[in-house]
Amino acid sequence: MINQTEKKIFSVNEIDGGFELLFGNLKLMKHTKTSPVVFIGKGEENIEMYRGNFKIEDYLIERIALRYTKIESVNDNKVTIAFSNHSNTEAAIILTIKQDRERLKIEFNNVSDDVNRLWIRINSYQNEKVYGCGEQLSYFNLRGKHFPLWTSEPGVGRNKNTYTTWQADVKDKAGGDYYNTNYPQPTYISSDKYFCHVETTAYADFDFSHEDFHELQVWNIPQFILFDKAETFIDLVKKISDLFGRQPELPDWTYNGIWLGIQGGTSVVEEKLSRALDKGIKVGGVWCQDWQGIRNTSFGKRLMWDWKWNPEIYPELDTKIWDWKKQGIRFLGYINPYVAVDGDLYKTASQKGYLAKNHKGEDYLVDFGEFDCGVVDFTNPEACKWYRQVIKENLIDFGLDGWMADFGEYLPTDVELASAESAKLMHNAWPVLWAKINDEAVREAGRSGDIVYFMRAGYTGTQNYCPLLWAGDQSVNWSLDDGLASVIPAALSSGMCGNGLHHSDIGGYTSLHGNKRTKELFMRWAEMGAFTPVMRTHEGNRPYDCFQFDDDDESLEHLARMTNIYVKLKPYIKTLVKANADEGIPVQRPLFMHYENDEKAYNIQYEYLFGRDLLVAPVYKSSVTEWEVYLPNDQWIHIWTGKEYMGGDVKVNAPIGCPAVFYRKNSPYADLFQMISKI
Amino acid sequence: MINQTEKKIFSVNEIDGGFELLFGNLKLMKHTKTSPVVFIGKGEENIEMYRGNFKIEDYLIERIALRYTKIESVNDNKVTIAFSNHSNTEAAIILTIKQDRERLKIEFNNVSDDVNRLWIRINSYQNEKVYGCGEQLSYFNLRGKHFPLWTSEPGVGRNKNTYTTWQADVKDKAGGDYYNTNYPQPTYISSDKYFCHVETTAYADFDFSHEDFHELQVWNIPQFILFDKAETFIDLVKKISDLFGRQPELPDWTYNGIWLGIQGGTSVVEEKLSRALDKGIKVGGVWCQDWQGIRNTSFGKRLMWDWKWNPEIYPELDTKIWDWKKQGIRFLGYINPYVAVDGDLYKTASQKGYLAKNHKGEDYLVDFGEFDCGVVDFTNPEACKWYRQVIKENLIDFGLDGWMADFGEYLPTDVELASAESAKLMHNAWPVLWAKINDEAVREAGRSGDIVYFMRAGYTGTQNYCPLLWAGDQSVNWSLDDGLASVIPAALSSGMCGNGLHHSDIGGYTSLHGNKRTKELFMRWAEMGAFTPVMRTHEGNRPYDCFQFDDDDESLEHLARMTNIYVKLKPYIKTLVKANADEGIPVQRPLFMHYENDEKAYNIQYEYLFGRDLLVAPVYKSSVTEWEVYLPNDQWIHIWTGKEYMGGDVKVNAPIGCPAVFYRKNSPYADLFQMISKI
């Protein structure tokens, strides 16, 4: 026993031919010659991007098990272990294990430059569950599969067994798979109440398919690996958000109502808004992506990507925006980190050298689907400053109180950056650089706390710079991997990683390959949205193929009711959002977060606790009027009927307008919840 | 220069930090510390079989580059090289390079039991082309891709971009990919006029995608690797067939005409045969798969798999068979190496312990699609003897003059064999064991040279035991990877490996997922068949979804003409078949075999030379009446018009009935070919 005194948080115990690493009682590693925990190697990757979809292949030249260990030096808070692949050869890598605050930190040294692959095995056991890895849309419990961690388009279909996916693959290389996500993060959370974070921006692949270990693969030598643990999941998410950052509270105007996604120009916005208000829909904002102009492509309507008010489509917006604000309705827009070649911003950026370059030193153009864009080079401080200025002048000063800060996943790996950093290593970092630009622009404008932007792309650090996630582009259908259901694990997994505020496009977005949004899908999605931090509709990529909120009176009335529920819940939601801001406890939580002893709760990914006191089981299938729900052991009141349940598998009526929602009988908000049923 | 005297066929030259291996002037290896040629490692494979389709995954634990070499001992004909991964560690593997007749042989020694993966790099250069690897249906030139070598179902669709493949994958895990084949073989032939053969039955994967080397991966330590080279491709295929074996000549009755695939019973055979003969179709045999009974499944009609005459469906077959024989029409049947659980043979085999077992010691049952079968254990000499007896008594003595010896690819990898050999290592060996059973049964019956069976499954050694290949189960469509076209590279690649006799189901076989055989497809396939060693029709798996040869007069007349052409070509075809038997020169040859200096010829996979003097470019697209052909530099006569061409890209009329066929003006058979046009 090398390093174990009472004050030590970890110990490295020598065993026959190896060692065990314990973090408190948690056995993180057990290394022997026959089951080594560290492998190094070399690979030659081939990365091809097509419109944000990546084909990544690795020719693995070497992978060497480092079977021989020597515990080299022991300080008070530090153990150094030298690993080699022969008993008589030099160390191929040295791990320094040390205490860092209350965390356990592993650093890597002495690695040959020739090594560009590292695999670390962390101890596991058969019944362990694993969560996190950023925003995961197909699986909340990640056990049994491996998860490549590379920010990209999430895929259309995301399941090789669906016809949508196949068509998307064949036509656009865009089908994706269960692991594709805009927001990956090399951080997992174990059901054993610890988290493990790998500090790297390199391509990584976390493999949770083995019975005895998790194997974390990284395509460089990470800066470090960090572990922390807690007695409860609530404490654990606090620690996670302590590390990665927390989101501020949402502006109070958020709770005024839904953000209506409208496009088409000033008059369309006025008409639709007025109709919505007439029908009693509570509106917090209008969200107009096309405030800066549109272009038509085969994918559907696309935006102009030149990030300034388009007075042709939006006449008088410069005054209307302030009128609406007086009515309590904010105007939200859209921007992303690319500039279209046919725009003025591109010209400026190109002239000033603010764009990333190709190998010939020319501006690198990225294909975004029938139009090309320059990539604003966020490794160039001048370019960052300029883009912050664009946001401040063209968006904030113009009157926008929020926007979708879209994209961030498209940094090509063969681009030349001003900082001379490898684009392969900066690719995953890009979404966070993009978030930071937004964050700093808002701060510089002195508007923190009143402006809110929302992002789909992310990576480690997103927690610090992005105040609100949205789940990206779902297909407008009922598929588990890419439809309504998929946003639930997305909220839960990103929430576990410290992003406590999440929402999705009500109705979904992607209408391709025969998928058309139905009224039923829209209404089911809206009723789920009422039980999330933010309600926002999207017209879809092909609005004419998608049912719209104002397509008939029934859906307008349904939306009115749902927005009234949402607004009524404001006092409750605000406490949740505050708890997230203060302590990093996500607003949407997995059942096990409050029911740790409930084994079944650990595998539930299509229900969530909306705070401590509401259990939400959205109806994610078509043509049903009943819904089966699992309730942890507690006193639950079905919100629409007032019927009490004591836990277990229950079936409730769940016609449209009545998603399966329950509140805890003992909740301090029980009266509020009871009122909901009367709306 | 360690080993180079005038009599040596190879040399191993020490260079800085490594060596070069030369075989004559051919540089096979160049090893240095930074570009090593040998890697060893360990993997844990996961192999799942579903109805002959395999999902094979490898968790690669280690892959170690052996960078350090020591040339340890030198004899007259032998060089030994010790490879290690550190300068100061023991040899991890020792390669013995030696002369074996005129061949170069590399053997492997001193490998730890823990090693179950080997990778060898063979020198390559940018413009090299590579052929062989058994029977390859999607690519003749294998360069640019890797080829897993594992006998399996070939796949339905075989291209992940086709809807047929996707449906087959989703519904039956059966879509396959470009490399799936019934007959793989770890042997490749280089355009540099050498071949390389790896002696192993383990799973292998030959990777021809690298610019500077081919990397041969084997999931055990092979017995040896063999190289041979020649001055010409004709000499090279002689050497290949010297090594692997050659097929005997086909029985003379083969050339009497087509083998008509008929099912349904004695009366159906009589009716169809009589109609065919009336219409002037030349018939060499009737091929009745269901001579032993049928069962109906969702896949279509399946056979009884109890391998004996079924007198209910085939009354009087025991006498008719001899009547037909007198008319010059032979009767061919069907058998495979599995016995259905509901049959008598299964009972016998089970009682006598002739079946392969599961881990519990029970008979292992394999799912063949809605019915289960036992696997006759060919590692048990008694079982082999019994099955040969089944063939002799139930097939040969009954009067069959040929049969499809189907399957052989389905040996599960978790089966327990009598010999205690690993099923993972016997899986690839199985088709050859099955071929050998047939070969020995025919020999024991004293009927060699008069009986012919045909197989789709194969592996190294098939050349010795299988007198005729057929291309397996094509889809009844025009797809490149799985339709008519695919049998051409299949014939060429298997021909390069020493299997000079090849044919295919006229009209294709698999009618699934909406594919139905059209009249046009049948007629185009028939006209290609006339220019192969054997013509044989197949009803298809769903005959009612497939156009049949006798569905109308036009196709009967077309088939009559094509069989007459085939029969007329007999003198020519017989010389080709004899050249294959004597010298191993395949009947269907790639263009470069006779036009070695024609660079373009090396990439042509949908034309072939039918012997020295005929060039055949089958029409493999629908709805065309013209066809573009590449002709090497020679004097070519278009067979139907008599028009002369001097080579290059030409376009000819090719309506149905006139496939693009040319003969060499200087051929000794020019008169014969000229007559063909008059048929």
What's the alpha-carbon Rg for chain A, to the nearest Å? 25
What pLDDT is stored for residue B3 in this prediction? 46
Q: Which residues are registered as beta bridge partners of B181?
A: B151
Digit-coded pLDDT (tens) for B116-159: 999 999 999 989 999 999 999 999 999 999 999 999 999 999 99
Instruction: Assess B25–A contact: CB distance below 8 Å, yes or no.
Output: no
Instruction: Assess B161–A contact: CB distance below 8 Å, yes or no.
Output: yes
B189 pLDDT higher than 80: yes
Instruction: Assess A61–B contact: CB distance below 8 Å, yes or no.
Output: yes
Digit-coded pLDDT (tens) for A152-205: 999 999 999 999 999 999 999 999 999 999 999 999 999 999 999 999 999 999
Burial of A34 (0-12, 13-18, 19+ CB in 10 A): exposed
Q: Which two tokens stand for residue B616?
A: 């055949």
Q: Which two tokens stand for residue B206?
A: 């030959």
Q: What are the CA-CA distances from residue B370 to residues B175, B300, B301, B511 (Å)?
A: 18, 11, 11, 18
Judge whether B31 and B19 are in contact, CB under 8 Å: yes
Contact B163 A166 (CB under 8 A): yes
How far off is chain B from A58, nearest CA to CA, in Å?
13
How far off is chain B from A40, nearest CA to CA, in Å?
10
Contact B60 A60 (CB under 8 A): yes
3-state secondary structure of A6: coil
What pLDDT is stored for residue A7 in this prediction? 65
What pLDDT is stored for residue A429 in this prediction? 98
Close Cβ partners of B319 (under 8 Å, ≥ 6 residues apart): none
* From A63, A169, A210, residue closest to B60, measured CB to CB: A63
Residue with tokens 């009947």: B587
Q: Which two tokens stand for residue B22?
A: 């030369």
Q: What are the CA-CA distances from residue A655 to residues A507, A554, A619, A640 (Å)?
A: 17, 14, 9, 11
Q: What order do you get walking across the sheet with B588-589 strand by strand?
A: B588-589, B608-610, B614-617, B660-664, B636-638, B644-645
| Opening angle at CA B382, ends B377 and B384, nearest 5 | 55
Q: Which of B148, B672, B239 is closest to B463 using CA atoms? A: B239
Q: Residue-wise over B607-639: b if at least 16 C-beta within 10 A, else e?
A: bbbbbbbbbbbbbbeeeeeebebbbbebebbbb
| Rounded average pLDDT over B266-284 | 98
Q: How many CA atoms lie within 13 A of B212 on its CB side?
A: 6
What pLDDT is stored for residue A5 in this prediction? 47
Contact B62 A63 (CB under 8 A): yes
Give the whole-angstrom CA distance, residue A443 versus residue A466: 12
Instruction: Give me the active site residues of B, please.
Output: 406, 409, 473
3-state secondary structure A378-389: CCCHHHHHHHHH
Judge whether A531 and A661 are in contact, CB under 8 Å: yes
Give the whole-angstrom CA distance, residue A465 versus residue A278: 37
Instruction: Assess A43–B contact: CB distance below 8 Å, yes or no.
Output: no
3-state secondary structure of B595: coil
**Helices assigned H by DSSP within B327-380:** 344-352
Give the whole-angstrom CA distance, residue A413 versus residue A219: 14
Contact A63 B65 (CB under 8 A): no
Close Cβ partners of B405 (under 8 Å, ≥ 6 residues apart): B335, B336, B434, B435, B438, B453, B454, B455, B466
For chain B, give percent helix, strand, coil, nearest 5.
25, 30, 45
Instruction: Look at domain B10-243 and name its CATH class.
Output: mainly beta
Contact B63 A65 (CB under 8 A): no
Give yes or no: A409 in active site.
yes
DSSP A110: S
Q: What order do you get walking across the sheet with B194-199 strand by strand?
A: B68-74, B78-84, B93-100, B103-109, B224-229, B194-199, B184-190, B130-134
Q: Which residues are registered as beta bridge partners of A39?
A: A65, A119
Q: How many CA atoms lie within 13 A of B604 on its CB side?
A: 25
Digit-coded pLDDT (tens) for A225-263: 999 999 999 999 999 999 999 999 999 999 999 999 999
Which residues does chain A have within 8 Å of residue B159's beta carbon, measured at their own beta carbons?
Answer: none
How far off is chain B from A12, nearest CA to CA, in Å?
25
Contact B163 A161 (CB under 8 A): no
A388 pLDDT higher than 60: yes
Considering chain A, what percentage of its residues have pLDDT values greater than 90? 94
Residue with tokens 């009526």: A653
For an interface test with B, give the residue of A86, A162, A210, A217 to mutate (most B CBs within 10 A). A86
Q: Which residue of B has its CA nearest to A146?
A: B59
One CATH from 3.40.50.12160, 3.20.20.80, 3.40.50.2000, 3.40.50.2300 for B252-335+380-412+422-586? 3.20.20.80
Contact A88 B89 (CB under 8 A): yes
What pLDDT is stored for residue A1 in this prediction? 43
| Rounded average pLDDT over B233-258 | 98
Which residues does chain B have within 8 Å of residue A39's beta carbon, measured at their own beta carbons?
Answer: 61-62
How many CB contacts within 8 angstroms connect chain A with chain B?
A: 46
For an interface test with B, give the residue of A33, A55, A58, A64 to mutate (most B CBs within 10 A). A64
Q: Which residue of A has its CA nearest to B168?
A: A161
Sign of the Cα torsion B460, B464, B470, B473 reads negative
| Rounded average pLDDT over A206-226 | 98
Q: Which of A215, A473, A527, A550 is catalytic?
A: A473
Q: Which of A354-363, B182-191, B295-304, B452-461 has the lowest mean pLDDT?
A: B295-304
Contact A41 B61 (CB under 8 A): no
Give the whole-angstrom CA distance, residue A2 versus residue A22: 11
Residue with tokens 């083969």: B254
Close Cβ partners of B512 (under 8 Å, ≥ 6 residues apart): B156, B164, B167, B168, B299, B475, B541, B542
Q: Which two tokens stand for residue A591?
A: 């059942």
Confirm or reject CATH 2.30.42 for domain A10-229, answering yes or no: no
Residue A89: CB atoms within 10 A of its CB come to 14
Instruction: Assess A644–B contact: CB distance below 8 Å, yes or no.
Output: no
* From B63, B89, B160, residue closest to A62, measured CB to CB: B63
Q: How many CA atoms lie within 13 A of B288 on its CB side?
A: 31
How far off is chain A from B227, nearest CA to CA, in Å?
25
In CATH, which superfamily holds the domain spanning A592-676? Golgi alpha-mannosidase II (2.60.40.1180)
Q: Which two tokens stand for residue B385?
A: 């003897």
**A contact residues 266-295, partner B, Cβ 8 Å cutoff:** none
| Rounded average pLDDT over A303-332 | 96
Digit-coded pLDDT (tens) for A62-119: 999 999 999 987 776 899 999 999 887 889 999 999 999 999 999 999 889 999 999 9
What pLDDT is stored for residue B7 in this prediction? 65
Residue B74: CB atoms within 10 A of its CB come to 12
Close Cβ partners of A18 (under 8 Å, ≥ 6 residues apart): A30, A31, A32, A33, A36, A69
What pLDDT is stored for residue A104 in this prediction? 97
Q: Which residue of B has its CA nearest to A166?
A: B166
* From A59, A61, A89, residue closest to B86, measured CB to CB: A89
* From A63, A166, A210, residue closest to B63, measured CB to CB: A63
| Opening angle at CA B252, ends B251 and B253, nearest 5 | 90
What pLDDT is stored for residue B89 in this prediction? 83
| Opening angle at CA B566, ends B560 and B572, nearest 5 | 160
Give the whole-angstrom CA distance, residue A348 versus residue A355: 10
Give the whole-angstrom CA distance, residue A387 versus residue A377: 10
Digit-coded pLDDT (tens) for B91-110: 999 999 999 999 999 999 98
Contact A61 B62 (CB under 8 A): no
For an interface test with A, give the residue of B86, B159, B209 to mutate (most A CBs within 10 A). B86
The whole-angstrom distance between residue B376's C-alpha and the CA centroid of its chain comes to 22
Phi then psi dihedrals of residue B250, to 5 deg: -75, 150
Give the whole-angstrom CA distance, residue B564 versus residue A5: 95
DSSP B567: H
Report which secondary-structure segment, H or E, holds B636: strand B636-638
Instruction: Assess A65–B contact: CB distance below 8 Å, yes or no.
Output: yes
**A contact residues 85-114, partner B, Cβ 8 Å cutoff:** 85-86, 88-89
Digit-coded pLDDT (tens) for A622-637: 999 999 999 999 999 9
3-state secondary structure of A29: strand
Give the whole-angstrom CA distance, residue A471 versus residue A136: 10
Q: Which of B307, B304, B311, B313 is closest to B395 using CA atoms? A: B307
Structural domain boundaries in chain B: 10-243, 252-335+380-412+422-586, 592-676
Which residues does chain B have within 8 Å of residue A89's beta carbon, measured at their own beta carbons?
Answer: 86, 88-89
Identity of residue B291: W
Q: Which two tokens stand for residue A560?
A: 């009115």
What pLDDT is stored for residue B183 in this prediction? 98
Residue with tokens 């042509």: B604
Which residues does chain A have within 8 Å of residue B61's beta carbon, measured at their own beta carbons?
Answer: 39, 63, 65
For an interface test with A, give the residue of B166, B169, B210, B214 to mutate (most A CBs within 10 A). B166
* From B62, B88, B169, residue closest to A65, measured CB to CB: B62
| Rounded average pLDDT over B80-96 | 92
Residue A381: CB atoms within 10 A of its CB come to 11
Identity of residue B223: Q
